[in-house]
């Protein structure tokens, strides 16, 4: 499939329609529409409180052209679990005959933090659904506070850079590896700059029997304080620097889908975003070095995981 064929498929399904209020350059629409369109069956969505929820459902309008239910920050996975169980019960009684897929759409606040216990429980119980987390690296819906997905060195409203601080001092949580630890059928990292890869992984996720997790890098222009026209270019740098590797875990086997031939230094990626301007200062060069070292070590671990799972 080429990009023109993919665009035609997405537009023909039109599961998330235009008119929503996402910020200029926001990739949430690309991510949500691409993933939902990968299902060959009708899709029911549970959407946690998030940027996606508040910008697509301004009462009395909605951009969702499919069954959609709003859940609180903490319980989108619990909600979809109940819907899936109700569906199975009705199917057993013969009241529903069609095949239906189930999808959670949530941001990093509702996935890495507030909703982690609910999603972990749903994965452990083995419900048949896809969990899509788009990570824009903070609570952008409520004022750009830090989340556990916020990278080290980023300035947020709750980790501001200043005389005695360069921004967030902790590394981000690795939710992809946490999902893999549940030993579920499918987990993948995706990036909207490679839309075909994202679509193919979403299709695999829907076709698996049991839970699947997709975690998407969502470069937020408002959070990054970057030119909205540069969203996809910045997203590509995230993968070219190994900050956001493209890989998948399928039935116990880990595969790295893309290995940069000429990996760019993390500094080149961070320079595209104003939120990292303090960590790039000369006085914080050791912090920058530690960030690069962490990325390199994680990449080495991924390579080992891939080798061991062959």
| Per-residue pLDDT tens over the stretch 154-175 | 999 999 999 889 999 999 999 9
Inform me whether the pLDDT recorded for 12 exceeds 90. no
Mean pLDDT on 193-220: 98
Inform me whether the pLDDT recorded for 249 exceeds 90. yes
The dihedral built from the CA positions of residue 284, 286, 287 and 292, taken in this order, carries a sign that is positive
Q: Are 151 and 171 in contact (CB under 8 A)?
A: yes
The number of distinct structural domains making up the chain is: 1
Give the pLDDT confidence score for residue 38 in this predicted structure.
97
CATH value at residue 72: 3.40.50.970
Structure tokens at 11: 């537009």
Inform me whether the pLDDT recorded for 263 exceeds 90. yes
pLDDT tier for residue 310 given thresholds of 50, 70 and 90 = confident
Inform me whether the pLDDT recorded for 13 exceeds 90. no
Mean pLDDT on 138-152: 95
Measure Cα distances from 213 to 148, 186, 205 in Å: 18, 6, 7
Give the pLDDT confidence score for residue 1 in this predicted structure.
82
Average pLDDT, the chain: 96
Give the pLDDT confidence score for residue 218 in this predicted structure.
97
Measure Cα distances from 17 to 10, 53, 64, 115 in Å: 11, 14, 6, 27
Inform me whether the pLDDT recorded for 19 exceeds 90. no
DSSP code of 256? E
The helix or strand, by DSSP H or E, that contains position 10, with its residue range, turns out to be helix 3-13
Structural domain boundaries enclosing 104:
3-308
Rounded to two decimals, what is the model's pTM?
0.96
């Amino acid at each position: 499939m080429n990009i023109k064929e993919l665009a035609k498929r997405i537009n023909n399904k039109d599961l998330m329609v235009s008119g929503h209020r996402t910020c200029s350059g926001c990739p949430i629409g690309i991510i949500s529409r691409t993933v939902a369109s990968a299902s060959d069956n009708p899709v029911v969505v549970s959407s946690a409180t998030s940027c996606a929820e508040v910008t697509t459902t301004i009462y009395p309008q909605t951009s969702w052209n499919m069954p959609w239910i709003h859940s609180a920050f903490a319980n989108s996975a619990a909600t979809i679990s109940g819907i899936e169980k109700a569906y199975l019960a009705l199917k057993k009684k013969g009241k529903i005959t069609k095949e239906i897929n189930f999808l959670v759409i949530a941001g990093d606040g509702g996935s890495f933090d507030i909703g982690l216990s609910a999603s972990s429980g749903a994965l452990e119980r083995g419900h048949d659904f896809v969990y899509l987390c788009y990570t824009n690296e903070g609570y952008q819906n409520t004022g750009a506070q830090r989340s556990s997905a916020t990278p080290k060195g980023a300035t947020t409203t709750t980790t501001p850079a200043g005389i005695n601080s360069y921004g967030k001092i902790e590394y981000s949580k690795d939710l992809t590896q946490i999902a893999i630890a549940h030993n579920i059928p499918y987990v993948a990292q995706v990036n909207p700059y490679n839309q075909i890869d994202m679509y193919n992984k979403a299709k695999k996720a829907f076709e698996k029997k049991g839970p699947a997790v997709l975690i998407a890098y969502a470069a937020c222009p408002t959070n990054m304080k970057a030119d909205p026209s540069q969203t996809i270019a910045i997203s590509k740098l995230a993968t070219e620097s190994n900050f956001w590797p493209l890989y998948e875990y399928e039935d116990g086997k880990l595969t790295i889908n893309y290995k940069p031939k000429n990996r760019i230094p993390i500094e080149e990626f961070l320079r595209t975003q104003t939120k990292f301007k303090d960590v790039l200062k000369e006085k914080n060069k050791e912090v920058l070095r530690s960030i690069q070292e962490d990325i390199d070590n994680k990449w080495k671990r991924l390579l080992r995981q891939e080798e061991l799972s062959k």
